[in-house]
Structures are given as C-alpha cells and as structure tokens.
Amino acid sequence: MEGGAATRLSGDLLLTAALLLLQSGAGVILVSGECGEPPRLNDGFPDIDLTQTSFPVGTRIRYRCNEGFSLAEGKSPLITCQADSSWTAFVTVCEANSCGAPPDLLNGYYKTTSVVFGGIVTYYCNEGYNLVGKDTQNCIAHGWDGRTPVCDAVTCDDLPPIENGKTPPLLQENWEYENAATFTCNPTYTLIGERTIYCRANGTWSDIPPKCKVVECFRPDPPITNGRIIAGLGPKYKYRETIIYQCNEGFRMVGNDSIECGENSMFPKAPLCISDEASTVMPTTRGPAEPPVTVPGRAPTDQKPSPTSAPKKDIGLILGLVLGLGAASFVGFGIAYWFLSKKKRGNSETAEKVPMSSPPKDVQAEPFSDELREVH
C-alpha cells in the first residue's frame, strides 16, 4: 500500500514535470509514468497522432466513430491516462447510424437485413407488377443509397376491333394487370366467346376477344322417330338454346337427351330412340364373341384377311406384303379395313346393350338400320 502511494506521488511529480516540459516547448521526453497506446473502441478510433505510442499521465484522448457510426449520446467520449499508467475505462460506444425504415413501395414490399449502417433492403413487386430500377438499397452513412425502385403494372396488348361489335375503349395509356375489357355486339348479332376478358399477371389476356355472329337455328327436320321434343319447341332458336327429347314407351335413348343451338347455326345430332326389343334380339342372332363368317359385301373383293381373327398379327403380315405391292394396294386395303372394323364395332355395340349415358359418338342411324335389316 505504501509503495502504491509512493508511485502515485512520484507519478504526479513526473506528470507535472512532463506538463512543464510540454508547455515550455522543449519536446516530449518519455519517462516512466506514461500510458501506452490507447485501447481500441469498436467501430471508432482515438483522435490522436497515430505515430504516438506513449502518453503522459493526465493525457485525455477523445474518441470518434467510424463512418456510419455515432457516439452514444450523453456518454463521455474521453479517456484519461491515470497516474498508475492505465487509461480510464470507456464509457462511450459507437452505434451504427440508422437509416430508418425504407420507403414503402406501392404495389410491392421489401425485406431488410437491418435498417442501420451496412443493412440492405431488397424490394419486391406484387403479382402483376414489374420492378423498375435497382431492387436493392444499402444503408450508408447518410441514409439509403441510390433510388427506391417502383412497381409498374404489367400491361397487355391492345385489343383489336371486332366485326359487328364494339371493342371497349382504352381509358388510360395501356391495358394493365386486372383491367377488364367487356365487348358488345351490334343488335341482332350474338356474342360468341367470353364477353369480358381480363389482363392477366403475365401480360396476356384471359381469353381471345369474342366474335359477333348472326346465329339462328331451326328445329331439326325430319323430327325424331319414336320420340318427341319435351322442351324447346322452337321452331327458331338462338345461340345455346336447347331442345330436350324423350323417347316413346318401349324405346330407349342413345345419345344426349338435349341438344344446343351452336354458333354455326346448327344443332348437333339429335339422340336416337331404339326399340328395347331390337337391342335384346340382337345378341341371340349374332353374339359378340362369334366372329362373322362372311365379310359383308360392301368391302372391296380383293381383301382376304378376316378383320376379326387376330387382326393385329394380320396387320403386320399384310403390311409386309403391301410394302412390296406398292402404295396403291395399301390405300385400297386401308379403306377396306376401315369399313370392316366399323362394321364389326357396330355389331358388338348392338350386342352389348350400349349404355344410355355414354353412347359412342359414331353410332349413327344408318349402320343401325343396316344391321337390323341384315339380321332379320
């Protein structure tokens, strides 16, 4: 304890001596009782001549902060060289400057690593908007650098004028994301397609513009046999108006019970009413597993292979032959085969009792009556 007091005392003396020397301008003489290099401050530095490595007792050093950092408010930025050759402890700290919250982005949003010096903000645009400008800003000493980007709405192509109708006028510079365009047709014209289309997020329209057509269907003639119309008597029909059919007692419907006036002013094929009796008689006269013995007369005579006995193998075989025979006979065979397979399908359909709900599309009145005639 005594020794410490003595050191302090002699230190004070030395300090006095040093100060006297400094004041007299005789230069600094380094003696014991000096402090060494001042301690480091995070994100700051001592405001001294960097070449100076020792400091007399009583020296006060001020700290400053690096760029982007500021001294904590209300705390002394000074340290002092004490008589025991140690520096007083720091009370200050350097705090990163805040750039504040980034500006809000209309039709977009941002994410930040931090909003203080060194932080980065990244901007994003909402769906249907394109970012114009740089998508990032850095928090530098004086705030966010550069310029905040903007989110511009995606635009869609101009709409062409439509015939016999009106294309909606463009009320702004461009058609933009989520804009709706509603078309109208001139009187007596029917709008085919979507009345309203939308500009989508990727700059495409939700649909092609509609068409304006004159659509008028007439009640199909001749009327359905063994059935009747139960709704939509017509005789004229507008686009999409329907006729609904019903079969008479003892008859079964093949096809959709309702048909719709199409944009080509035509109804699709009306359903058929088939006698319940006819469809039960068929399998007894000609079973589905039983291959037909004779090829119906409609097929060209130069065709030998039976289409029902392993047709796949035959195709391979015949294809080989046909390659040699040439293109002409190939075409001939193709036509013949098509006839035969069609015929065969007709047979199995009538035999298997075609379900009402899903009639095959190519079942037609003609083949049916042909079959019936042949069978009886």
What are the residues binding ligand NAG (CB under 6 A)?
200, 202, 204, 242, 256, 258-260, 357
The DSSP string of 86-113 is: -BPPP---EEEPB--SPPP-TTEEEEES
What is the closest distance, in whole angstroms, from the C-beta atom of residue 267 to ligand NAG in the complex? 10
What is the closest distance, in whole angstroms, from the C-beta atom of residue 154 to ligand NAG in the complex? 10
43 versus 260: smaller Cβ distance to ligand NAG: 260
What is the closest distance, in whole angstroms, from the C-beta atom of residue 178 to ligand NAG in the complex? 12
What is the closest distance, in whole angstroms, from the C-beta atom of residue 206 to ligand NAG in the complex? 8
The per-residue b/e assignment along 26-53, b for 16 or more CB within 10 angstroms, e otherwise, is: eeeeeeebbbeebeebebbebeeeeeee
Question: By the 8 A CB rule, do 270 and 255 touch?
Answer: yes
- Cα separation, 61 vs 76, in Å, equals 11
188 versus 202: smaller Cβ distance to ligand NAG: 202
Q: Give the count of beta carbons closer than 10 Å to the beta carbon of residue 83.
A: 19
203 versus 283: smaller Cβ distance to ligand NAG: 203
12 versus 152: smaller Cβ distance to ligand NAG: 152
What is the closest distance, in whole angstroms, from the C-beta atom of residue 216 to ligand NAG in the complex? 17
226 versus 258: smaller Cβ distance to ligand NAG: 258
Query: How many Cα atoms sit within 13 Å of 194 on the Cβ side?
Result: 10
What is the closest distance, in whole angstroms, from the C-beta atom of residue 202 to ligand NAG in the complex? 4
284 versus 357: smaller Cβ distance to ligand NAG: 357
Peptide bond into 235 cis (omega under 30): yes
Query: What's the CA angle centered on 292, arms 288 and 293, to 5 degrees?
Result: 150
- Cα separation, 364 vs 370, in Å, equals 10
